[in-house]
Structure 1
Amino acid sequence: MKKTIIHAAIITALATTYSTTTQAAQESSSKEHTAKDSKTIIVTGTRVSGRTIEDTAVPVDLITSDIIEESGASEVGELLQKLAPSFNFSRTTVSDGTDIIRPATLRGLGPDQVLILVNGKRRHSQAWVNIQQTIGRGSAGTDINSIPVSAIEHIEVLRDGAAAQYGSDAIAGVINIILKGGSAGTTISGKWGQTKEGDGTVKQVSANSTIELGDTGFLNLTAEFRDRDATNRAGISNRKDRVIMRLGDSSAENKYLFFNGEAGIAYFFGGVSSRSGQSGGFYRFEDRADRNVPQVYPDGFLPLQNTSVDDTSLAFGIRDFIGESWEYDLSAVYGKNEYGFIASNSLNASIAAQYVANNPGATDAEIAANAGPTRADSGGIEFQQLTYNFDLSSPLDWGLHDDVYFSTGIEYREEDYGINAGELVSYSCGYTGSTNNPFPSVIDPNVAAACGMQGFPGYSPEISAASQRERDNYAFYIDMESNLSDNFLLGIAARYEDFSDAGDATTGKISARWDLTETFGLRGAVSTGFRAPSLAQRAFTTVFTDVDGTELSQTYHAPEGSEFAAAYGVNKLEHESSDNMSLGAVYSPGNGLSMSLDAYQIDIEDRIVLGGGLNGQNADANGNPVVNQPALDYLNANGYNKGQFFSNAIDTETFGADFVLTYDWGTEGLGDYTFTWLSHYNRTEVKEINAPQGVLPETLFSQAQVDNIETGQPRQRLMLGLDWALNNWSSSLKVNRYGKVKTSFFTCQGLGIPTSNPDVCNGALGIDPSPSVRSSAKWLADLEVRYDFDNGVRLTVGGNNITDEYPDKLPENAVHRFISDAPEFGNYIYPWESTPFGINGAFYYVKLDLSPSN
């Protein structure tokens, strides 16, 4: 990260303040926020110390350590998918890096419209941009699976717009992950599981322990290793009469080392994670002239993508009092996310083509020997973030009914983004170093051999140079909250934020709660918000293989300010802006019963999305051809079939409601029961498409992309839970209902194949002409049974999706099945674009926990 005056000043202040105040902190009593019960007190959505989940002005879900341990989840995304109905963690396949970094969303919005905090501090974003036809297309959210579940004490989910409190990205809400602290003890766990089909084996070992530091300090350490085998639900290829593709979860090996600690007034936390995985692309058949060299792969080949994700985070801060009431918090947080690709079981078809062009009459053996490597480093992406915060808060006596809890603070953040070039053979046309100088195919000299490695062409030095970006921003906020009477709470927040590359924004929020009786209250909030375009959206550049009609094509993703995007008048991305309104009711009559109902509406203008592929040609509203000559010339000069770019293209409206009911019931002889009912409804509509001049709205943002946003995620979610405990026995039953989903990219209409074409849709080939792909609502059940031995040993047996549910099968003549096996139908059995709970079916596991010191 670049060195700045602010950087040096804050580091100096941290060191100086720590050295002069440590002794005073050690002599002081324990802080109020550490003395409270962490299962009741929350810190998200309010800056008032001691606020509980029962008396907030906005809805906050609390997922406690007990619930986490009993969920059976191995990953944070899987955990939240099970327990927070407003959260979605769609699984996908054959989608490049999104196979291993999955899109995490809240309230049906984008992955980059939910802010992730760890111990209340902003978490850095991921480097990878979702560019394929998946949920969250065009976003670069936060890789929540880079945090091990075994390191988490509890999670707080704020279901309300909070940009005025926390800044950019908090349009949909905030997820705050709290790491285990000084009371965690020591736990060693082992888990083994497998799907009903006998694949997807998971082997996991984790250890968590706390070391005391002095009288009040601690250091909590977590180590975790998890190995997950791939799953495959591909059908038989009718061309090959066998399974040739990999459709399911990619394989993944995960290693984590995390820490969380306090010493005097200082606190520190962070960790490193390393994940590697392998997934497949589309099968390249032996007769594919532009993409295969039959002397190397006489039967065709399945290109594989080997991905690696390395994540690093480190936070250090000091928290103490100035005088008797003013509490300050000074912190620095560093994060880095690195994403790398290696292509294997692949080839660069243009290398053999170059050899044949230079050596006419070469034998098959000579061509095979000079066809280049079958494995190459395709390059990688890096994102770094450094955030400094100074927060100051105190209760103030302004002569009102109660003190005004006043908070203010400043934030400064630096970000760096860049793409690292791959090996020459990963991107080049032959060994020339050029990306646009193809050679005649070794199969058909009338066809140009594709340049770059198949499956994922590497990043060239030109792409690397165009992607290097950095920026900084600073923010200032004020937050006030007070009880104006015994039964009325009012909160006001305002925030100003300025980005060096995207300008400034000012947002505000008013929240209130009115307790009409001791058991019934109303709550609500009105706020404005914004999201700055991410650095990844500004800088990301690549050339990738996409589906164009029934063919594969090379698509250029143009960065902000590129010649291609500028040809359409798009020179710069602007902020997204939002208006958020919520209204709810809370009922807590006692006797273990608690209920809440919250409705909300979120209007977003100038939402940043990834447009469709443009080939330099279009048609006006009357169907007359329109040629954008500069764009067409750019594509032709570089050998690209299409180009795409980000723009502030759409306005959306989101409406929804959440209902939460919990009931605790204890009996004398039959055990203790907890019943949970969580339901979520969400509807997002695209209200306006703001296409650049000369591009039809449906060309820039097709109906398929509209469907991805409006119906690609379940509009309805329901979770019913029943927990039981008696003596040493306990069990948990969770039933999740996922509403129906509809997508339409992989249809004749979505791919731009005319339904009137007599040779394709509705014709001799008999491809399904349906305009959409639908999957009906599904009920999934998770069951876990546990026995606690008296020596700190607990044995757990459980199953996820024990009802063995799958998405609805595709028709036998679905477009999915044609494009992957043309001219036959095969390979795909289940949908590709949106699979809220995956296509793995039932998964069963056994887990052993050892807690020798607890």
Structure 2
Amino acid sequence: MKKKILLLFIITIFNNLSLSEVHAQADDDNDVHVKAATDAELEKIIIIGTRISGRSVTDSLGPVDIISAVDVVEQAGSDMSDLISKIVPSYNVRATGDAASLVRPVSLRGLPSDATLVLVNGKRRHRSSVISFIGGGVSDGSQGPDISVIPAIAIKRLDILRDGASAQYGADAVAGVMNFMLKQAPDGGSFDVKLGKTFEGDGDFYQLAGNIGMPLTANGFINTSLEYRQVQPFSRSVQKDDAAELIANGNNAVANPAQTWGSADVLNDVKTFINMGLDLKNNKEWYAFGNYAERKVETGFSFRNPNTRGGVFGSALNLAGADVDANGNSIPFLVDIDNNTITREQIVDDNGFIRTDLDEQGWIQRYDRLVADVTPDGTSGNCPQTDVNNNGGVDIYDTEGLATVIADTNCFVYNDMFPGGFTPLFGSDLNDSSLVTGIRGILGNDMTWDVSVGFGRNEADFYINNTVNASMGPDSPTKFRPGTYIQQEQNINADFTYMLNTDIEQHIAAGFEWHKEQFEVQAGEDASWQPGVFVDQGFSIGSNGFSGFSPNVTGKWDQSNISLYADYEAQVTNELLLGAAIRWENYDTFSATTNYKLSAGWKINEVVALRATHSTGFRAPTPGQSNISNITTLLDNGILIDRGTIPPTNAIAMLYGGEALTPEKSKNYNVGAVITMDRLQLFIDAYQIDFEDRITQSADIQLTAQQAQALEDSGFSGASGLRSFRFYVNDFNTTTQGVDIVASYPFSMAGGQSELSLIYNYNTTEVTYFNPVTLDDVRIRQIEDSMPNQRGNLSWRHIQGSWRVLLRGNYFSDYWLAHVGDSNLTLEPSAELTLDAEIAYSFGHNDQYSFVVGAENLFNNFPDTNPYSGLTGAKYPENSPMGNAGGTYYIRLGYNF
């Protein structure tokens, strides 16, 4: 794929080089010269939310943030997802688990990551291949773009439209649009080195970045950016209670901590972007840009206790049905290997912990240790059956009984391979590439046109180490390649604008788009999904923690659509600006949809202007969401279980309301005021988003042993050990309301220039309709309350000569959390306030060199401690909006030329 992208670039460059030289010789006078925006233009002119050039931020009919490259890099972070979080109201990104730890989902206005459209140079960016099976509630099941592949040094500016824009830009623009504009200088460049670590002494990172501009003949440019970084993980863990008890009872093989909570290990993170432009004859310009990125991301999964991990060390507990409590709520119940019923009340107390007052008869207090008979017939080894006693919910290492089993050559237990249990290490080799090329120009004085084609590809090649396919017994490897997800997209666009020659300023824009996306699942290596010879003895199938994809669940699924749009703006009077847009889209997987947008702006006087928008929107389900199968391991009532995700059209899903997914639909309302008073600029916008038929993962649906086996027989490897499953569903509506405030005030101080800036967001989401069969109270609470209702920051920047100082206070209100997704482990972390500081000094000829020292979370603040840390090993809540790293300090060295 790298060779294909490079070849396309080379062919395109040489073709257009030849064309440009001929045209330049024929008619130099008609060339359109490529120019970079000045700093003043950067601050004033918007290029998103309108098809008309020359609009300013204060003239915009919707709320637009223009973020300079300097604003982006004034932070400790080295990932684009993190860098934006401090400078955009209503933007959130958090650490999550499972596949979502590889590509973290972001959120704008409290909506999932795939409800925000991402553009680069105004062109649609492809989505990631990674689906967020565990997305912290709000983004569960989302599949959005991976913006972390964009190097900060490549960005000239970032424009963010915080308003519904499906009628203008197409599907996914429900919460808004992010447009990354690449640098286009034909000369000069910069190099940066950044390194740092946490105040606790871990989480080391370093980043090398460079940007260089070169001429492409006399009439064009090639601007290239490269970034390389490594990020070591930090750990905010304590020893789990069950692991501590194992050590106390003589098992010195247990790691401390047995399970790590913190950040992922990011290795060999390489990002490149190339942006090119070339003037052609007759007011035409050729352009092309693209990227290639790769990285390895690795994180730890849950600890597998060497006595009780079902299907590996101990007898698996299979779901048999459901009971009902005094309030009529369904309670799943389990059966042990002898078919003795175990109710929830017998296992878990009112606080969600394993009970200490279990049945005196003892059968509930015992797990049968899984012992494999390795004789040829699997039955003649006379392997001993041992029990593992349970003392107050903590498993005690059965040294004597286990030694007997290990000494018997006819028998095998995984305690011989992993005497201290194990914690799988899950990761992926991620690759991302794209190429967009096109020609744009001017016809006469009134019409502009732009025709382009684009291609994007994202691949996640998963691996999982330090685990087993238990059904293979002593022949099981401990490293697996479970398979690969691939997302590919193609676009063809044609856009036109025309200024009408009338008494009032009127602009019309129209265009066409063809878009195709394909999601592919490639099979994992055989050992990651095939049943071994010991499956009939109760051992689980597939690589434990992330089962491989068998050929029966692999495939390619695609969908394509065409769209037509029209956009109109009229400066009716000097005070009144009106706008309207309409877009028709037709998908080959469902019927056509039409969306519109109405906008108005009224300049009351030189100080106050009002604006308002109303629009409809939609988001189409992705082929991945409609066809994915997956197994995720998580805690349920303190017990480690496996949960499956199956396609909504699977026969078992359809028994519980599953059906083919349909588009999500939205209605957006925004009312705002712009206040410009001397040096003060104040933007206040109130919004409401009514989001219907939302797609998400259903609540956990308990699976019978017969249903689990049916899934296994259909080719879903590892399904026979499942207790519950989920599927994607259009089954709930929400209303999101909020207020964004953005303000800035520059002033002179002590002979230098200062600026105070404020961003603030208040956001609430209410579930207005849901299907109780597929959405439970916990999922509703996650959607409504898992993010802080309020967040904001106040910044002070001061420049004096060669010195620059930044102070930034960050605020997050309280929120609600179901720890590790467990409804019995809820907590409400309190509001937090952190302070960032940075000081920079420039020196050398024309201040070519810069030295920056900074600290994020200067006072080393942490979230509230986790009251369930003994059960899970996590010292702090895993989804804290402020993160769990504590303070981070960093230095940055820069060179500009």
Range of TM-score over shorter length: 0.7 to 0.9
Superposed CA offset, 1:82-136 (max 9, x none): 11121001122xx222112111110011111011111111000011111125241
1:276 aligns with 2:358: no
- Report the equivalent of 1:645: 727
- Residue 145 of structure 1, CA deviation: 0.3
Deviation at 1:38, TM superposition (A): 3.0
Q: CA, structure 1 residues 588+22, in 2 after alignment: closer, same or farther (shift >3 Å)?
A: farther
1:616-659 Cα distance to aligned partner (Å, 9 max, x none): 57xxxxxxxxx9x9899657985132221111111000000011
Q: Distance in 2 between matches of 1:534 and 1:747?
A: 24
- Matching residue of 2:781: 707
Q: Quick one: structure 1 residues 588 and 184, their matched pair in 2 at CA, closer, same or farther if it must change by over 3 Å?
A: farther
1:258 aligns with 2:299: no
CA contact (8 A) 1:580 1:601 kept: yes
Aligned partner of 2:637 in structure 1 is 549
For each residue in 1:319-377, what CA deviation from the matched residue of structure 2 results, as whole angstroms up to 9, or x when unmatched? 1123332111001111101012111111111111xxxxxxxxxxxxxxxxx33211111
Aligned 8 A contact 2:239 2:258 in 1: yes
Correspondent of 1:101 among 100, 103, 111: 103
In the alignment, the residues of structure 2 paired with residue 584 and residue 32 of structure 1 have an alpha-carbon distance, to the nearest angstrom, of 35
**SS of the residue 1:232 aligns to:** coil
| Identity level (%) | 31
The structure 2 residue matched to 1:580, chosen from 633, 656, 668, is 668
Equivalent of 1:836 in 864, 874, 881: 881
Query: Could you say what secondary structure the match of 2:701 adopts?
Result: coil
State the Cα deviation string for residues 694-743 of structure 1 (Å, max 9, x = none): xxx0x521222112111111110111000001011111111110121102
Please say which of residues 121-130 and 560-569 is displaced more in the overlay. Answer: 560-569
* Residue 842 of structure 2: aligned partner: 788
In structure 2, the partner of 1:767 is none
Deviations 1:469-519 (A, max 9, x none): 011100000001121001110111000011111221100001110001012
Q: CA deviation at 1:26?
A: 5.7
1:340 aligned partner:
461
Q: Kindly tell me: are residues 204 and 775 of structure 1, through their superposed partners in 2, closer, same or farther at Cα, counting changes over 3 Å? A: same
Residue in structure 1 matched with residue 743 of structure 2 by the alignment? 661
Corresponding letter in the other structure for 1:405 = H
Q: Does the CA contact (< 8 Å) of 2:561 and 2:586 recur in 1?
A: yes
2:219 aligned residue: 216
- 2:260 matched residue in structure 1: 246
Following TM superposition, by how much is the alpha carbon of 1:15 offset from its aligned partner in structure 2, in angstroms? Answer: 8.3
* Equivalent in the alignment of 2:346: none
Name the SS of the counterpart of 1:651 in structure 2.
strand
Partner of 2:583: 495
Match of 1:607 among 689, 694, 701: 694
Per the TM alignment, residue 566 of structure 1 is displaced from its structure 2 partner at its CA by 2.4
**How far 1:558 sits from its partner (Å)?**
1.2
Map of 1:373 onto structure 2:
477
How far off its partner does 1:678 sit?
1.1
User: Closer, same or farther in 2 for the Cα pair 1:734/1:507, shift >3 Å?
Assistant: same
2-structure distance, mates of 1:401, 1:419: 55
Q: Matches of 1:161 and 1:286 in 2, distance apart?
A: 51
The CA deviation at 1:44 is 0.7
The whole-number CA distance in structure 2 between the counterparts of 1:462 and 1:57 is: 51
Stretch moving more, 454-463 or 151-160: 454-463
Partner of 2:892: 847
- Which amino acid is 2:87 matched to? L
Larger Rg: 2
Relative to the length of structure 2, the TM-score reads 0.81
Structure 1 unaligned blocks of 5 or more: 2-10, 353-369, 432-436, 441-447, 618-626, 692-696, 752-769, 821-826
Instruction: Mark the CA change 1:631 to 1:483 in structure 2 (over 3 Å): closer, same or farther.
Output: farther
| Equivalent residues in 2 for 1:604-643, closer than 5 Å | 604-616=691-703, 639=720, 640-643=722-725
Distance 1:26 1:155, change over 3 A: farther
Structure 1 equivalent of residue 119 of structure 2: 117
In the alignment, which residue of structure 1 is the partner of 2:863? 807
Question: 1:544/1:427 Cα in 2 relative to 1: closer, same or farther (>3 Å)?
Answer: farther
Conserved 8 A contact 2:243-2:305: no
Contact 2:34 2:278 in 1 (8 A): no
**Equivalent position amino acid for 1:132 in 2:** I
Is the counterpart of residue 408 in structure 1 residue 510 in structure 2? yes
Cα distance change, pair 427–26 in 1 and its aligned pair in 2 (3 A) = farther
Structure 1, 59-68 or 484-493: larger mean CA deviation: 59-68
Residues 705, 745 of structure 1: 8 Å contact kept: no
How far off is 1:569 after superposition?
Answer: 4.0
Report 1:262-341 matches (<5 A): 262-264=277-279, 265-288=285-308, 290-292=311-313, 293-341=414-462
SS at match of 2:572: strand
Partner of 1:685: 766
- AA aligned to 2:153 is S
Shift of 1:464: 1.0
Contact 2:69 2:153 in 1 (8 A): no
Work out whether 1:349 is the aligned partner of 2:470.
yes
- Distance in 1, Cα, partners of 2:289 & 2:557: 28
State the secondary structure of the residue aligned to 1:44: coil
TM-superposed deviation, 1:183? 6.1
Cα displacement string for residues 807-835 of structure 1 (whole angstroms, at most 9, x for unaligned residues): 21112xx2x642x4xxxxxx121112x22
CA RMSD of aligned residues (A): 2.5
Map 1:740-759 → 2, pairs under 5 A: 740-744=814-818, 746=820, 750=823
- Secondary structure of the residue that 1:112 maps to in structure 2? helix
Q: Equivalences for 1:436-475 in 2 at 5 Å? A: 438-440=535-537, 448-465=538-555, 468-475=556-563
Go from structure 1 to structure 2 and tell me whether the alpha carbon gap of 1:462 and 1:390 turns closer, same or farther (over 3 Å shift): same
Instruction: Give secondary structure in 2 for the equivalent of 1:39.
Output: helix
Q: Which residue of 2 aligns with 1:196?
A: 199
Aligned match of 2:171: 168
Q: For residues 211 and 32 of structure 1, what CA distance do their matches in structure 2 show?
A: 13
Contact 2:672 2:683 in 1 (8 A): yes
Change (3 A) 1:191 1:16: closer
Q: Structure 2: which 5+ runs fail to align?
A: 2-10, 245-255, 280-284, 314-413
Conserved 8 A contact 1:100-1:277: yes
One-letter amino acid of the structure 2 residue matched with residue 52 of structure 1 = S
Amino acid at match of 1:427: W
Report the 3-state secondary structure (helix = DSSP H, G, I; strand = E; otherwise coil) of the residue aligned with 2:168.
helix
SS in structure 2 opposite 1:439? Answer: helix
The 8 Å contact of residues 511 and 566 in structure 2, kept in 1 or not, is answered as yes
Deviation by residue 1:731-763 (Cα, 9 ceiling, x = unmatched) = 111111012110236587x15xxxxxxxxxxxx
Q: Secondary structure at the match of 2:512?
A: strand
1:798 corresponds in structure 2 to 854
Partner of 1:787: helix, strand, or coil? strand
Change (3 A) 1:34 1:787: closer
Question: Cα–Cα, structure 1 residues 377 and 783, in superposed 2: closer, same or farther, change >3 Å?
Answer: same
Residue-pair matches, total: 758
| CA distance in structure 2 between the partners assigned to 1:838 and 1:86 by the alignment | 17
Query: CA separation in 2, counterparts of 1:494 and 1:139?
Result: 26
Partner of 2:523: 421
Distance change >3 Å, CA 552–CA 69, structure 1 → 2? closer
1:258 & 1:565 partners in 2: Cα distance? 43
The SS at the match of 1:741 is coil
**What is the CA-CA distance between 1:311 and the residue it aligns to?**
0.4
1:78 aligned to 2:159? Answer: no
User: 1:387 — aligned with what?
Assistant: 491
Displacement of 1:557: 1.2
Match of 1:478 in 2: 566
